[in-house]
Chains A and B, each alone.
Chain A
């Protein structure tokens, strides 16, 4: 497989080194290293306020890191943001929806914004709506949709330009059990062709869709392992999570 010749995109899609971010005196993220390979689904775990969202904001260029570097498919995100952002699809914690628009209008705008070829927009739109289960509600106003459907529109927006890297911040919040199952299937499917990072509080979600897991606590990356490795050693993710994050209580946080 001469991937180098066929594809200009290297196998490592995200590599972040020494990523730190402070807000005033408060250090939200401290010296985080993160690497993601193509076709890998990474689960980012951590209690509330651990710095997961901040890390994701830095990886997508929404927030400039205080120090450290981010390479997206070999392109420096800080030096060449516009080129690097082409490869990223991002669903923030609060789905960025224009509620006055219809689903179609909104997705069309998202596609244009991400430089999707004008001639391909209709095709891409139908496909992405089908993938996210939005086919029947293209004409509906986003404000009239339930939280679960709004979340799906958010996911659709993140994958409409077929990015190499998909970053989903708590994608299953507000969904009912059936929808959660659907979105997990979607994530697994996406994970075959691209890299996915998702943050979540739900441990079984990580176990069912992720290849690798990293746990953050108080801004520091405290654990990183492949899930198959955990299974081989017979370790329970829940146990590890508890052990690593319950220190919070002891340090008086």
Chain B
């Protein structure tokens, strides 16, 4: 498919979307232009309110430090500057933490999706002794709020020598019984004719899992992965407990634990926050549709 074709398909799809939206508008608020204007105004006000904190943080981050500490103004008299960003990037471990976060979130996502999918496959497509008990245990563990385990888990990590290691941060996060059930429900719905045909052809469970179940479940796997990744990237409490060495801290922990040595610097604070916020915001802009869909399906999945 050439680029021109792709663009054409895109345009057609966008046009179709617009038509659908117009229909939707008619169906929900009817033909009255006043009602439409009212709804639009409400949306604009809400969206503006929701963007103020980010906008204000961005503005501050581009101010000179001295001006940031003056009473609030949206337009700095001394002009804009990248000073705060330069300071933060050269004087702090921000990039180290960002890398740590990437490593941790990627590992958590990969391991969670893998072991959850395998377990879901076992529950959905195989029969073994103790399966009922294990499934019951999995459901029961959904109710266990991990946050209350911080004290014994910290002790356990100390005993294992995993405090201040990536594995110490990652491993306790890969237990996601909810994801097992989301995936199991999906695997249950795979047409049995497909699986039976493969079984008759002599395919073993590994081949079923890798060549039929996983490829057919790509959309749900991506959804789960997105959800797990966002959660792991932003997780604060556990990484905060299990890291004391700043070199192993993730972004949220490093940002809130390590301070700069030059006193309160509002512009630099905001520059750090903006840099920390950027990766997921950019990813979101690129893959909005997928992420919205992934979060919506997975978020409800536990129910």
Do the two chains bind?
no
> A residues touching B (Cβ–Cβ < 8 Å)?
none
> B residues touching A (Cβ–Cβ < 8 Å)?
none
